Amino acid sequence: MKNLQTHIFFLLIITLLLQACGSDKYVRREFTYTKTVDTHSKKIDFQTKKLYKVGHIFADNRFDGARLNDFTQINDSTYQVLITPENTPINPSPWYAFKIWSERPDTIYLQLKYKHAKHRYFPKVSQNRKDWQKIKSFTYNNDSTAISFKLPVKKEAQWIAGQPIINSTDTKIWLDSLASNLWVSQPKVIGKSAKGRPLYMLKIGAGDTKNKKIVVLLSRQHPPEVTGFMALKYFVNELAQNDTLTRAFYQKYEVWLFPLLNPDGVDLGHWRHNAAGIDLNRDWANYRQPEIDAVTNFIVSESKKHHVKPVLGVDFHSTFKDVYYIFDDSFHSVLPGFCEVWTAGIDRTVAPFKTRKSPYGMAQPISKNWFYKQFKAEAMTYEVGDETPVNIIKLKAKAAAVTMMDLLLRY
């Protein structure tokens, strides 16, 4: 009798343990890392939105995505645009965007002067906010905290910015247009940013989430990283095609797309942070910011609801040069070594435009590490160079999407 009781007792313990292990991924956990930053909200400086008029020149930051903190005249023909960050310390990614025009046609010198950073983004000019040309000729000041260039101005406004301006409204227009594709759902609001802007997600798949393996796509935690967002757009456009590959892919997989994780930062013209002054890609351990709280809660609860789980997370960013941050051999995800094989496959397709690959440790609370810690999922940070030409961004992103689907079906 005693033996039987002992058996039952151990069986019970084993059952409980199995249940605990099985459901663990459906409870959002907090994680500890060796390299962390405090992600409690901080104060930020809001830029004053106004129309500046200096002599016969106008400068304007009254639109979403703008950044211009002051506009002054330095001498007869030189005007200065002051660019300051939302708060400090901050990553050296001095974003700027503004409109400029003149009462009469003229040619002026424009100086971009940065506080707390050196020059980074090539200036670009647009007559319509859609088509952008790079201003290739400019001069630096002594310590690279300012650049100057010649600019013909006229009565019609021109946009000057560090990258093409893609704000939250532009993103929503794209999402609405995507939803007309066979596989793509309507945008769904999964939460609100610190300033109350909607956080959207879309599902791309063949209807029923049940029994599917999930691929999660993220973008724009960091506002100026527009080239990474462009890559995401081309990547998603490929996933939205109706062809033999996607038809096979959506039998087994579903894609969850979170295209704009930091809408406040994007619309407020931030260099890096959200409206609470925090780098969102350092908050994937304690979820103190509403944007990361919402996206992680959604992923965990939606996975639980359909009894599915993410097997791959891809987060699109920009940095100085194209690079794929993947896991090294010591990580054993549910798709062991997938990103290594995937990125090699992309390189083969787009040769000779190979991308540097860098194993990146598990030291920081970034999204890539969260996918692994929470779900044992494979993950990658897809980094696009600040000045990678659009045709190369497109070529690589299309190859990445096709190769990913093809390989996942065979993995």
Query: Which C-beta is closer to Zn ion: that of 254 or that of 264?
Result: 264
Two structure tokens written together for 232: 């995401």
Euclidean distance between CA atoms 193 and 153, whole angstroms: 37
Query: Which C-beta is closer to Zn ion: that of 225 or that of 340?
Result: 225
Q: Considering the complex, what minimum distance in angstroms separates the CB of residue 170 from Zn ion? A: 19
Query: Which C-beta is closer to Zn ion: that of 151 or that of 285?
Result: 285
Query: Which C-beta is closer to Zn ion: that of 222 or that of 282?
Result: 222
Euclidean distance between CA atoms 282 and 169, whole angstroms: 26
Residue 272 contacts by C-beta under 8 Å, 6 or more apart in sequence? 85, 86, 90, 91, 93, 222, 223, 224, 265, 279
Query: What residues from 317 to 356 belong to the interface with Zn ion (CB under 5 A)?
Result: 317
End-to-end Cα, the chain, rounded Å:
50
Query: What residues from 225 to 244 belong to the interface with Zn ion (CB under 5 A)?
Result: 225
Taking only Cα atoms into account, the Rg of the chain, rounded to an integer number of angstroms, comes to: 24
Residue 267 main-chain phi, psi, to 5 deg: -75, -30
Residue 345 contacts by C-beta under 8 Å, 6 or more apart in sequence? 403, 406, 407
Q: Considering the complex, what minimum distance in angstroms separates the CB of residue 224 from Zn ion? A: 9
Q: Considering the complex, what minimum distance in angstroms separates the CB of residue 360 from Zn ion? A: 13
156-191 b/e (C-beta count within 10 Å ≥ 16 → b): ebbbbbbbbbbbbebbbebbeebeebebbbebeebb
Euclidean distance between CA atoms 411 and 215, whole angstroms: 14
Q: x/- site string to Zn ion, residues 303 to 322, per CB under 5 A?
A: --------------x-----
Query: Which C-beta is closer to Zn ion: that of 170 or that of 279?
Result: 279
Q: Considering the complex, what minimum distance in angstroms separates the CB of residue 344 from Zn ion? A: 24
Question: Does 273 contact Zn ion by CB under 5 A?
Answer: no
Query: Which C-beta is closer to Zn ion: that of 212 or that of 282?
Result: 282
Euclidean distance between CA atoms 269 and 263, whole angstroms: 10
Contact 228, 266 (CB under 8 A): no
Quick count: other Cβ atoms within 10 Å of Cβ 65? 27
Q: Considering the complex, what minimum distance in angstroms separates the CB of residue 37 from Zn ion? A: 14
136-151 b/e (C-beta count within 10 Å ≥ 16 → b): eebeeeeeebbbbbeb
Query: Which C-beta is closer to Zn ion: that of 123 or that of 223?
Result: 223
Stretch that binds Zn ion, among 42-50, 52-60, 156-164, 214-222 (CB under 5 A): 214-222
Q: Considering the complex, what minimum distance in angstroms separates the CB of residue 8 from Zn ion? A: 54
Euclidean distance between CA atoms 64 and 200, whole angstroms: 18
Query: Which C-beta is closer to Zn ion: that of 88 or that of 242?
Result: 88
Q: Considering the complex, what minimum distance in angstroms separates the CB of residue 131 from Zn ion? A: 25
Q: Considering the complex, what minimum distance in angstroms separates the CB of residue 220 from Zn ion? A: 9
Query: Which C-beta is closer to Zn ion: that of 205 or that of 224?
Result: 224
Query: Which C-beta is closer to Zn ion: that of 309 or that of 317?
Result: 317
Q: x/- site string to Zn ion, residues 76 to 115, per CB under 5 A?
A: ----------------------------------------
Cα 91 to the center of its chain, rounded Å: 15
Stretch that binds Zn ion, among 53-61, 129-137, 215-223, 362-370 (CB under 5 A): 215-223
Residue 6 contacts by C-beta under 8 Å, 6 or more apart in sequence? none
Select the residue whose beta carbon is closest to Zn ion and give its number.
317
Residue 179 contacts by C-beta under 8 Å, 6 or more apart in sequence? 185, 186, 187, 202
Stretch that binds Zn ion, among 223-231, 237-245, 295-303, 324-332 (CB under 5 A): 223-231
Stretch that binds Zn ion, among 4-12, 16-24, 216-224, 300-308 (CB under 5 A): 216-224
**Total site size for Zn ion, rule CB under 5 A:** 3
Question: Does 222 contact Zn ion by CB under 5 A?
Answer: yes
Strand partners, 110: 79, 149
Q: Considering the complex, what minimum distance in angstroms separates the CB of residue 281 from Zn ion? A: 6
Q: Considering the complex, what minimum distance in angstroms separates the CB of residue 398 from Zn ion? A: 22
Euclidean distance between CA atoms 135 and 156, whole angstroms: 18
Q: Considering the complex, what minimum distance in angstroms separates the CB of residue 237 from Zn ion? A: 22
Query: Which C-beta is closer to Zn ion: that of 71 or that of 316?
Result: 316
Residue ranges binding Zn ion (CB under 5 A): 222, 225, 317
